[in-house]
Amino acid sequence: MFRKTTLKNGLRVITIPQKEGQAVTVLVLVATGSKYEKKELNGISHFLEHMFFKGTKKRPNTTAIAETLDKIGGIYNAFTGEEYTGYFAKVDANHLDLALDWVSDIFLNSRLNSSEIKREKGVILEEINMYYDNPISYVQILWRELLYGDQPAGWNIAGTRETVLGISQDKLKNYLRNQYVAPNALVCLAGKIGLSSAIKKVKKSFSEIKTGKALGKPKVIEKQIRPDCLLKERKTDQTHLCLGVRSYNLFHPLRYAQEILGIILGGMMSSRLFIKVRERLGLAYYISTEVSSDLDSGFLVTSAGVDNKNIEKAISTILQEYKDISQKKVPATELKKAKDYIKGKTTLQLESSDALASFYGIQELLERRILTPEQIYDRINKVTADDVLKVSRDIFKPQKLNLALIGPFKDKSKFLWTMRKF
């Protein structure tokens, strides 16, 4: 069971007790990320996340921030996405007060020192370089660029060299002031906690959080009338690709059918694409299919790395699996396997307090509602083979196909020709 409490200042508190656990996680989420940024400030959400580890008045530098939880063997980190940013600490339940103090301190009291900002620009630029040097990571960035183009949904979360270098102390403080307000944030406590005492502790720790109305984000614009391809020429031994389609957002009635479709295609080691592309044809070491659903956009994409000479065969094979599943209903046994896979994996993941905090917190932050695992399982169980077929027929159309790839090729016309035959 969980409890949602809204404090007078608008801050939401989600508490999820775990009687059998010995750990506790404190997670703070803010409904802001790269989709909320202006072009000249691309990367500022991610930059601010980095700066929260650089010092507060109470813990004046990075060492003091890190040592606080290192001394008790705590796990701590932060993350930035398109729709939200999060900060968390996971500790032995006996150290809940310390974890709350630490998270609230960096969240509310980070100093954003100008010398640290200057130094951190170099760190972030190296992070960007790291992703660009790794084609497995870079092709994922290209995928979103291909789908959404020059709008926030298509920009790199970390920003560009130019935008990162242009971020100043004033810009960070202004962004913090606009977005990091009580109604736009929530605190999750999961693990070995007492409900009433936990809420009182959060109320005390976050009493200084600012109130106000956060700035919204522009709606994602999606325009596509024919297959599209984004090719980055690079001398590699493998071609790395993302091949998929535009699909449904978080609120679509066939959302769970879409998730099951992704699992059947490439979400597990016995999925259709894993067996066909890797085990039978030997074309790839890694291949997987992911379904992503955001507030107002979504996609299904298959990622793989293949020998350069096998790229056309790999693309054709993936497209054939897309076509097959859109022409014939999934057998009952395969449908049941996918459902049981999702439910089983979710159950295993939710044994840890940090996963519980994310599971409940992100639902509340994005959807303004929370479904328990059992309620989600009920929706999954109701998905029929007809539902999966309906999704497949709707999304697997030539005009929705997109291909991003990195490899030693100069001309993308042959790849577009393959997709047009779909």
pLDDT value of position 219: 96
**d(C-alpha 245, C-alpha 264), whole Å:** 16
What is the mean predicted confidence (pLDDT) over 267-288? 98
Residues near 192 by Cβ (< 8 Å), separated by ≥ 6? 17, 18, 19, 21, 22, 23, 24, 93, 353
- Same domain (yes/no): 175, 293: no
Q: Which long-range contacts (CB under 8 A, 24 or more apart) does 127-130 make?
A: 127/158, 128/156, 128/158, 128/159, 128/160, 128/161, 128/164
Residue 379 sits at the vertex; the CA angle it makes with 376 and 380, to the nearest 5 degrees, is: 90
pLDDT value of position 19: 86
The answer to whether position 235 is within a domain reads yes
pLDDT value of position 85: 98
- Same domain (yes/no): 245, 190: no
- The pLDDT tens digits for 67-81 are 999 999 999 999 999
Overall number of domains in the chain: 2
Contact between 366 and 250 (Cβ < 8 Å): yes
- Helix ranges (H only) for 71-193 are 96-109, 114-133, 135-148, 161-165, 169-179
What is the mean predicted confidence (pLDDT) over 11-19? 96
User: Which residues span the domain enclosing 366?
Assistant: 228-420
- Same domain (yes/no): 248, 166: no
Q: Is the pLDDT of residue 266 over 90?
A: yes
What is the mean predicted confidence (pLDDT) over 250-268? 98
- Same domain (yes/no): 268, 122: no
pLDDT value of position 59: 98
What is the mean predicted confidence (pLDDT) over 167-179? 98
The DSSP element (H or E) to which 86 belongs, if any, is strand 85-92
What is the mean predicted confidence (pLDDT) over 253-270? 98
Instruction: Return the percentage of the chain with pLDDT > 70, whole number.
Output: 100
- Same domain (yes/no): 158, 291: no
The answer to whether position 219 is within a domain reads no
Please identify, among 137, 172, 205, the residue that sits at the C-terminal boundary of a domain. 205
**d(C-alpha 392, C-alpha 258), whole Å:** 8
- Same domain (yes/no): 157, 276: no
Which residue carries 């999934």 as its tokens? Answer: 330
The answer to whether position 210 is within a domain reads no
- Same domain (yes/no): 296, 150: no
pLDDT value of position 236: 95
Q: Can you give the CATH number for the domain in which 164 is found?
A: 3.30.830.10
pLDDT value of position 104: 98
- Same domain (yes/no): 260, 366: yes
Burial class (CB in 10 A: 0-12, 13-18, 19+), 192: middle
pLDDT value of position 147: 98
- Confidence label for 21 from pLDDT (cuts 50, 70 and 90): confident
pLDDT value of position 268: 98
pLDDT value of position 317: 98
- Same domain (yes/no): 321, 398: yes
What is the mean predicted confidence (pLDDT) over 24-46? 98
Please identify, among 205, 238, 273, the residue that sits at the C-terminal boundary of a domain. 205
Set 37, 49, 116, 321: catalytic member = 49
The answer to whether position 263 is within a domain reads yes
The answer to whether position 220 is within a domain reads no
- The pLDDT tens digits for 95-107 are 999 999 999 999 9
- Same domain (yes/no): 190, 232: no
Burial class (CB in 10 A: 0-12, 13-18, 19+), 57: exposed
Establish whether 82 is a catalytic residue: no
- Confidence label for 256 from pLDDT (cuts 50, 70 and 90): very high
- Same domain (yes/no): 303, 335: yes
pLDDT value of position 20: 86
- Confidence label for 37 from pLDDT (cuts 50, 70 and 90): very high
pLDDT value of position 113: 97
Mean pLDDT of the chain: 97
- The pLDDT tens digits for 233-244 are 999 999 999 999
- Same domain (yes/no): 341, 308: yes
The answer to whether position 216 is within a domain reads no
pLDDT value of position 195: 86
Q: Is the pLDDT of residue 40 over 90?
A: yes
The answer to whether position 211 is within a domain reads no
The answer to whether position 288 is within a domain reads yes
Please identify, among 170, 205, 240, the residue that sits at the C-terminal boundary of a domain. 205
